[in-house]
Amino acid sequence: MQVTMRIERYADQGRCVGHLDGRVVFVRFALPGELVVVRMDEPMRAKAHFFTGEVVEVLEPSADRVEPQWKLAGPLAQGGGVGGADLIHVSLPGQIRWKASVIANQFQRLAHMDVSDNDVNVERIPGDEELNGFNWRTRMELVADDEGRLSMRKRESHERIAIDTMPLASRAVLAVADSLDLWNRSFSPNAQIRLAVPEPRVEGLDFNDKAALFDAIGENYALIVNDELVAGSALLRERVRVAA
């Protein structure tokens, strides 16, 4: 079932809120103010307190909408569906506004505090704009498809989509994945593959210098297949910065 609706506000999990017949609809890949066509998730039970759905067409787009740079993580209607990048359709400034709004809303609803979006300061990690919002996750979890290739599960199906890179993974994770030749290795079907690489905190480190990057990483990574350590170290070290 497809319906046309006006999107009202931000929600959690990368969804926005619309209404259908007086009931809330949590819509994936939407933005406040947009007029969109939504494919409703089934089943739509008569006694449900809310519905969910996904955008299939944007009739009136928001100024914050951008074309997903990683198509596989976009809407199903655009050939996506692997998940992991709920705000892939939102500009970087729009993502900041989204997060500030959600945080302010939680203070209002849960703590009953008078907090506005402007009261919330959401900071980007260093280099985020340069990387356009990608390459920040220090671990990735994948599954092998029937041919043994690294893949991700497609939402609302049993299908697994083979991938040859992971745009969300940090440059350190991708460097280790390349060094281990993960993208070309064959695993047993349905194998669970996890790779974790704490971000090297080395002053002045050039992430484009592979030799320097590998020297900074050393053995501080872990490749785990079906809960068994295959490469790297069982104990990982990570430096963090604590705000005063």
Q: What is the CATH number of the domain that holds 84?
A: 2.40.50.140
Asked if residue 97 is part of any domain, the answer here is no
Asked if residue 112 is part of any domain, the answer here is no
pLDDT digit string (tens) for 182-196?
A: 999 999 999 999 999
Q: Please say if the pLDDT value at position 153 is more than 90.
A: yes
Domain boundary among 90, 120, 149: 90
User: Looking at per-residue confidence, does 48 or 142 come out higher?
Assistant: 142
* Amino acid 199: pLDDT: 92
Spell out the long-range contacts of 215-222 with Cβ–Cβ below 8 A and sequence spacing 24 or more.
217/172, 217/175, 217/176, 221/172, 221/176, 221/195, 221/196, 221/197, 222/194, 222/195, 222/196
* Amino acid 128: pLDDT: 85
* Amino acid 244: pLDDT: 59
Tell me the HSE value of 171 on the side-chain side, using a 13 A CA sphere.
17
Shared domain for 144 and 82, answered yes or no, is: no
Concatenating the DSSP letter of every residue in 99-155 gives HHHHHHHHHHHHS-----GGG--PPPPTTTTTTTT-S-BSEEEEEE-TTS-EEEEPT
Domain boundary among 74, 90, 106: 90
User: Looking at per-residue confidence, does 197 or 205 come out higher?
Assistant: 197
Asked if residue 63 is part of any domain, the answer here is yes
Shared domain for 69 and 150, answered yes or no, is: no
Asked if residue 57 is part of any domain, the answer here is yes
Number of domains the chain contains: 2
Question: Tokens for 26?
Answer: 């949590």
pLDDT digit string (tens) for 26-73?
A: 999 999 999 999 999 988 887 788 999 999 999 999 999 999 999 999
Q: Please say if the pLDDT value at position 242 is more than 90.
A: no
* Amino acid 158: pLDDT: 87
pLDDT band at 129 (very low <50, low <70, confident <90, very high): confident
Shared domain for 72 and 156, answered yes or no, is: no
Whether the Cβ atoms of residue 193 and residue 180 lie closer than 8 Å to each other: no
- Average pLDDT of the chain, as a whole number: 93
Asked if residue 133 is part of any domain, the answer here is no
Shared domain for 84 and 157, answered yes or no, is: no
Domain boundary among 22, 56, 90: 90
Asked if residue 213 is part of any domain, the answer here is yes
Asked if residue 176 is part of any domain, the answer here is yes
Shared domain for 144 and 78, answered yes or no, is: no
Owning domain of residue 22: 2-90
Asked if residue 66 is part of any domain, the answer here is yes
